[in-house]
Structure 1
Amino acid sequence: MYRFLLTSRWWGINAFAVLSIPFCLFMGSWQLSRFETRVDSHRAAQTQADDARTATAEPLADLLPVSTETSGRQAVAGGRYDTEHQLLVPDRDLDERKGFYVLTLLRTDGGKALPVVRGWLPGDADSRTDAAAVPAPPAGHVTVTGALQSSESPGSRGVQAGGLPKGQLGIISAATLVNLVPYEVYDAWITAPGAQGAMTPVPPAAAPGSGLDLKAFQNLGYTGEWFVFAGFVVFMWFRLFRREAEAARDLALGIAPDEPAGPAGPAGTEGPTPPSGPDDGPGDAPQKRSPAGAA
Structure 2
Amino acid sequence: MVVYRFLATPRWLGYAALTVAAATVMVLLGLWQLDRYHQRAEINARIEAGTSAAPVPLTGVVGAPSGAAGTVGPPPAEHTEWTRVTVTGRYDSAHEILVRGRTVEGAVGFEVLTPLVLSDGTAVLVDRGWVRPAAAGALTAPEVPAAPSGNVTVAGRLRPAESRGGPPQEVNGRTEVRRITPSAIAPALPYALFDAYVSSDEPAPGFTTVPAQKQNALQNAGYVLQWWLFAAMTLYGFGYLARREVRGPRPANLLDDEADEEEEAAHGASR
User: What's the counterpart of residue 95 of structure 2?
Assistant: 85
Q: Percent identity?
A: 22
What CA distance in whole angstroms lies between the structure 1 residues aligned with 2:168 and 2:154?
Answer: 29
* Contact 1:31-1:220 at 8 Å conserved across structures: no
What CA distance in whole angstroms lies between the structure 1 residues aligned with 2:100 and 2:155?
Answer: 23
Runs of 4+ in 1 over 6 A off after TM superposition: 159-164, 213-220
Q: Within 5 Å, which residues of 2 pair with 1:62-141?
A: 62-64=60-62, 65-124=75-134, 126-128=138-140, 130-131=141-142, 133-141=143-151
Structure-2 change in CA distance of 1:176 and 1:219 (3 Å): farther
| Alpha-carbon RMSD | 3.5
| TM superposition shift of 1:237 | 5.0
What CA distance in whole angstroms lies between the structure 2 residues aligned with 1:28 and 1:161?
Answer: 42
- Normalising by structure 2, we get a TM-score of 0.70
Higher relative contact order (CA 8 A, sep 6+): 2
| TM superposition shift of 1:74 | 0.8
Gaps of 5+ in 1: 250-295
What is the count of residue pairs matched by the alignment?
Answer: 234
SS in structure 1 at match of 2:105: coil
What CA distance in whole angstroms lies between the structure 1 residues aligned with 2:242 and 2:169?
Answer: 58
* Contact 1:86-1:104 at 8 Å conserved across structures: yes
What CA distance in whole angstroms lies between the structure 1 residues aligned with 2:94 and 2:33?
Answer: 46
The answer to whether residue 167 in structure 2 is matched with residue 167 in structure 1 is: no
* Contact 1:41-1:211 at 8 Å conserved across structures: no
What CA distance in whole angstroms lies between the structure 2 residues aligned with 1:118 and 1:182?
Answer: 20
The answer to whether residue 187 in structure 2 is matched with residue 186 in structure 1 is: no
| TM superposition shift of 1:221 | 5.7
> Per residue, is there more helix in 1 or in 2?
2
Of the candidates 11, 14, 17, which is equivalent to residue 16 of structure 1? 14
Of the candidates 55, 58, 68, which is equivalent to residue 60 of structure 1? 58
The answer to whether residue 222 in structure 2 is matched with residue 195 in structure 1 is: no
User: Deviations 1:41-95 (Å, cap 9, x if unpaired)?
Assistant: 3333323212212111111122124344211111112222111110111111111
Q: Which amino acid aligns with 1:75?
A: V
User: Deviations 1:190-248 (Å, cap 9, x if unpaired)?
Assistant: 11111222111212345xxx644988876666555555544554455556x359x55xx
Which range moved further: 78-87 or 117-126? 117-126
Look at both structures and tell me which one has the larger radius of gyration over its CA atoms.
1
* Contact 1:194-1:201 at 8 Å conserved across structures: yes
Q: Which amino acid aligns with 2:12?
A: N
Gaps of 5+ in 2: 63-74, 252-271
- Normalising by structure 1, we get a TM-score of 0.65
SS in structure 1 at match of 2:175: coil
Q: Which amino acid aligns with 1:139?
A: S
What CA distance in whole angstroms lies between the structure 2 residues aligned with 1:148 and 1:96?
Answer: 24
> Per residue, is there more strand in 1 or in 2?
2
